[in-house]
Structure 1
Amino acid sequence: MSEAVARLRTGYGADLRHALFMILCLGVAGWVVLRLAGEATSGRMLLWFVGAVVSHDLILFPCYAIVDRALRRAVRGRGREVGPARSSLLNHVRIPALAAGVLFLVFLPGILGLSEDTYRAATGQDRFPYLARWLAISGGLFLISATVWVIRWARWRHRSGPPSALGPG
């Protein structure tokens, strides 16, 4: 049995759990396609999905890759390698930035004030507070992340002795 698993791993490139998970994902995707097959708006949904994939790959990915590279250079300092604490600092910036970005994309029409008449007709409410709330939530996420990082850095400093400006590493 282990020889067959080793052969699968060599041929597939990952272990059996990954292959089973991918089969499960394809099954869920197939179920969604079958559910949408009879929908009148399935063409519009497909167009939206393709547009989302293309805009992510051609616009969003290059943008956040450039921002991440600049952030790594800023944290790295003067030619030093990125150590564990610097990686931790990067992650304490990346995670709230990712959450703020996802929230921005989810609430994009409300934040930018698009289709305000449709929203008001459907709910009877204004879209005015979306931008302020998104900014407040994003600021809160960064504040929580910075607080957690400072606590971790202080614990490391207490255990290790004198730290550098950005933590260990």
Structure 2
Amino acid sequence: MARFVRWYGSGPLHLLALIASFALTGYAMVRLFAVRPLEVAIWFVGAAILHDLILLPLYSLADLTAHSVLRHRPARVPQVPWINYLRVPTFLSGVLLLVWFPLIFDLAIPYPGASRLPEGVYLGRWLAITGVLFAASAVAFALRLRRMRRAGRGDERRPARGHGATP
């Protein structure tokens, strides 16, 4: 097993999950291209252009801004890698917004038989889900910070002795 992990980089369950996800994606692409090949190709090209030319610079700028604003903290506070506690709920909320934006912003008429929900509930529910995601992330961050303080550890990113640290 150790030889496989050294060769592959992770366990066999990870490899199995990866193969299954590629198989499911391949199946879905074959089915989509069989029905509407031109529309699917336009969607993929449009999604790549939208992501690479618009969204990537925007969320990179937001990430750099968060780093620069929240970087200055007192040295006595333990340094927890906090940025992922902002990135994960932001990413999940953004994906929900990207998928459901026509309904969230009332740009489309929902199928009343499919959801049985009135038209105006989507924005409030998306905001509630976003709030819950950020609250759960804040609780996870607080628990991690508390655990670090109890363990008496200071800065996790401080180099070990012999690697540039002062004795």
Q: CA deviation at 1:28?
A: 6.2
Question: Is 1:127 aligned to residue 119 of structure 2?
Answer: yes
* SS of residue in 1 equivalent to 2:111: helix
CA distance 1:101–1:33, change in 2 (3 Å): closer
Alpha-carbon shift at residue 151 of structure 1 (Å): 1.6
Tell me the secondary structure at the aligned position of residue 113 of structure 1: coil
**Aligned equivalents of 1:148 and 1:124: distance in 2?**
35
Say whether the 8 Å CA contact 2:89–2:130 is kept in structure 1: yes
Partner of 1:38: 34
Query: Are 2:33 and 2:40, in contact at CA under 8 Å, matched by a contact in 1?
Result: no
Asked if structure 2 preserves the Cα contact closer than 8 Å seen for 1:109 and 1:115, the reply is: yes
Give the deviation of 1:125 after TM superposition. Answer: 4.1
Partner of 1:5: none
Q: CA deviation at 1:142?
A: 0.4
Q: TM-score, normalised by structure 2?
A: 0.68
Q: List aligned pairs for 1:70-85, cutoff 5 A.
A: 70-77=65-72, 85=80
- For the 8 Å contact 1:119–1:127, the answer to whether it is kept is no
CA contact (8 A) 1:96 1:138 kept: yes
Deviations along 1:5-57, whole A, 9 cap, x unmatched?
Answer: xxxxxxxxxx9648xx7xx5877665544433431x32112211211111011
Residue 143 of structure 1 deviates from its aligned partner by: 0.5
Determine the C-alpha separation between the residues in 1 that align with 2:115 and 2:22.
37
**From 44, 47, 54, the counterpart of 1:49:** 44
Q: In structure 2, what is the equivalent of residue 90 of structure 1?
A: 83
Counterpart-to-counterpart distance in 2, 1:168 and 1:53? 35
Question: Secondary structure of 2:107's match?
Answer: coil
What CA distance in whole angstroms lies between the structure 1 residues aligned with 2:147 and 2:26? 49
Question: Which residue in 1 is equivalent to 2:96?
Answer: 103
Give the aligned residue type for 2:58.
Answer: C
* Counterpart position of 2:164: none
Shift of the 120–147 alpha-carbon distance from structure 1 to 2, 3 Å rule, reads same
1:151 aligned residue: 143
Question: Number of residue pairs matched?
Answer: 142
Match of 1:139 among 126, 131, 140: 131
Query: Aligned pair in 2 of structure 1 residues 47, 17: CA closer, same or farther (>3 Å)?
Result: same
Which residue is 2:161 aligned to? none
User: Which residue does the alignment assign to 2:55?
Assistant: 60
